[in-house]
């Protein structure tokens, strides 16, 4: 019998922590999980799930606008944000109950309270000290607060998800996932939205053709874009809040959303005191490919490691940790090929290398692309287009990356990711029969390379 209270103590009951804890328990480990907030973590409580519910709600604006083209008469609709938020809150509460039940059914002990690491095997939570052979840090991340004068006047995505009154004018600072998604959502609700970001285009790091088309589509949907906008000051004025950029430009709004990145939740955990190597600039825990920290008995998974801040990645890292430490099957997650979706409007799906990254990596590339107006938009008179791009290694025909923007891109990329993860070639796509009429069929009908 072990001298420790548990075999594993996990700090953080989000997606990665819950997955790791349940999987370790399946392997026979005695597991406890600590949580100082709601069970479910960022994704379930204040991230992916509530955000997508709001996205669905905002898309009804398109449905109402397009309906007459299909023969429907629509009474002028009205929108009640408070009613939506109430429904969202009930769904999140339901999901949290399910997460708690999963832990209980999986024989994982829930210790409620903020936890702090005391030594390599001990955690203090709620005034009680408990020990384990291994500790796992899975505390996720939270909105970052850059040193911008007056930034306290802005809200983060956490508060935005709880609004019950719609701002007439919303300024969104940032050009990443959260910024473009909420800009699209609140534009759909009827707010006048300005998206201000430092780069020339939103979604830095994504394929350039996708970024360009997203900017065009957002502008056509009524979002005002302010590229090259580096905020230096926020202040209250008679008309609301004024944001001033480094170059002197100003934007006034009733509400400002700060979507200027996220930071790993490592403050106050006592990690440095016990020797865990933490990046002093980013706050991320440095780990090996197997998620082990500089202290052999302490591991970390998910956003707190800042490897790839995506829920499925955290879950995969958590399960790999459990298999490695408790299942006798050492393995690590391969972060080189990760499919992802951005629920902008229109949505984006992507996997693999962008065109510029493929060229920079030394590949000779052939590019296939399709740019078309989806059938759904024809009778409605909507001008929005879809675009699909497949990047192929010209030497061995292997698909290096695929990038989509348009309706249902998030759903399409999941299926395509299976093939690309298996090492699909362009010939494999070519011999796949199309499903007609769909937008996704364009991916297997690309025959002529782009002429550069």
Q: So which residues are the catalytic ones?
A: 436
Cis peptide leading into 346, omega within 30 of 0? yes
For residue 175, say whether it is annotated as part of any ligand binding site. Answer: yes
How far, in Å, CA of 372 to CA of 388, rounded? 9
For residue 408, say whether it is annotated as part of any ligand binding site. Answer: no
Estimate the share of the chain in helix, then strand, then coil, as percent rounded to the nearest 5: 35, 25, 40
Tokens 């970390």 label which residue?
A: 300
For residue 127, say whether it is annotated as part of any ligand binding site. Answer: no
CB-based burial label for 437 (10 Å; 0-12, 13-18, 19+): exposed
Rounded-to-10 torsion of CA 103, 106, 110, 116: -100
Structure tokens at 234: 């926020």
How far, in Å, CA of 431 to CA of 38, rounded? 48
For residue 181, say whether it is annotated as part of any ligand binding site. Answer: yes
How far, in Å, CA of 25 to CA of 9, rounded? 11
For residue 315, say whether it is annotated as part of any ligand binding site. Answer: no
CB-based burial label for 121 (10 Å; 0-12, 13-18, 19+): buried
Are 331 and 323 within 8 A, CB to CB? yes
Alpha helices in 7-71 (DSSP H): 15-26, 41, 48-58, 60-66
For residue 35, say whether it is annotated as part of any ligand binding site. Answer: no
Cis peptide leading into 437, omega within 30 of 0? yes
For residue 177, say whether it is annotated as part of any ligand binding site. Answer: yes
Are 143 and 306 within 8 A, CB to CB? no
Rounded-to-10 torsion of CA 222, 228, 229, 230: 150
Q: Which positions ≥6 away from 387 have C-beta within 8 Å?
A: 209, 210, 213, 369, 370, 371, 372, 404, 405, 406
Structure tokens at 164: 């019950």
Tokens 């590229």 label which residue?
A: 227
Is the dihedral angle over the CA atoms 142, 143, 145, 146 positive or is it negative? positive
For residue 303, say whether it is annotated as part of any ligand binding site. Answer: yes
How far, in Å, CA of 178 to CA of 157, rounded? 8
For residue 386, say whether it is annotated as part of any ligand binding site. Answer: no
Q: What is the DSSP code (8-state) at residue 217? A: H
Binding residues for NAD(+), by number, are: 174-181, 261
């Amino acid at each position: 019998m072990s001298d420790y209270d548990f075999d594993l103590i996990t700090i953080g009951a989000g997606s990665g922590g819950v997955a790791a804890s349940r999987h370790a328990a399946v392997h026979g480990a005695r597991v406890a999980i600590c949580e100082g907030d709601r069970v479910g973590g960022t994704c379930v409580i204040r991230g992916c799930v509530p955000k997508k519910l709001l996205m669905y709600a905002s898309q009804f604006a398109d449905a109402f606008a397009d309906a007459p083209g299909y023969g429907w008469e629509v009474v002028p609709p009205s929108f009640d944000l408070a009613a939506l938020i109430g429904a969202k809150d009930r769904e999140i509460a339901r999901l949290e109950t399910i997460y708690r039940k999963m832990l209980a059914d999986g024989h994982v002990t829930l210790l409620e309270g903020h936890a702090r690491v005391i030594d390599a095997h001990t955690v203090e939570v709620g005034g009680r000290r408990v020990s384990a052979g291994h500790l796992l840090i899975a505390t996720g991340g939270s909105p970052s607060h850059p040193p911008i004068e007056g930034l306290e006047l802005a809200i983060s995505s956490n508060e935005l998800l709880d609004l019950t009154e719609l701002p007439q004018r919303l300024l969104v600072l940032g050009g990443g996932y959260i910024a473009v998604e909420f800009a699209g959502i609140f534009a759909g609700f009827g707010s006048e939205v300005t998206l201000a970001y430092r780069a020339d285009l939103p979604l830095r790091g994504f394929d350039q053709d996708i970024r360009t088309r997203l900017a065009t589509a957002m502008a056509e949907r009524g979002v005002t874009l302010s590229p090259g906008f580096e905020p230096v000051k926020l202040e209250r004025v008679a008309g609301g809040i004024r944001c001033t950029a480094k170059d002197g430009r100003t934007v006034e709004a009733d509400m400002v959303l700060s979507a200027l990145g996220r930071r790993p939740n490592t403050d106050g955990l006592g990690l440095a005191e016990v020797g865990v190597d933490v990046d002093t600039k980013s706050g991320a825990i440095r780990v090996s490919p197997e998620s082990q920290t500089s202290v052999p008995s302490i591991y970390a998974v998910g956003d707190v490691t800042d490897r790839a801040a995506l829920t499925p990645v955290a879950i995969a890292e958590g399960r790999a940790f459990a298999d490695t430490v408790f299942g006798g099957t050492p393995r690590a997650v391969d972060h080189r090929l990760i499919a992802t979706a951005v629920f902008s409007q229109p949505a984006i799906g992507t996997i693999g290398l962008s065109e510029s990254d493929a060229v920079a990596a030394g590949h000779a590339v052939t590019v296939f692309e399709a740019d078309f107006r989806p059938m759904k938009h024809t009778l409605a008179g909507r001008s929005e287009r879809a675009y699909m791009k497949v990047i192929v290694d010209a030497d061995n025909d292997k698909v290096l990356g695929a990038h989509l923007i348009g309706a249902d891109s998030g759903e399409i990329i999941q299926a395509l990711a299976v093939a690309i993860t298996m090492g699909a070639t362009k010939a494999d796509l070519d011999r796949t029969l199309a499903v007609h009429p769909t937008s996704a069929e364009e991916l297997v009908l690309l025959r002529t390379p782009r002429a550069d």
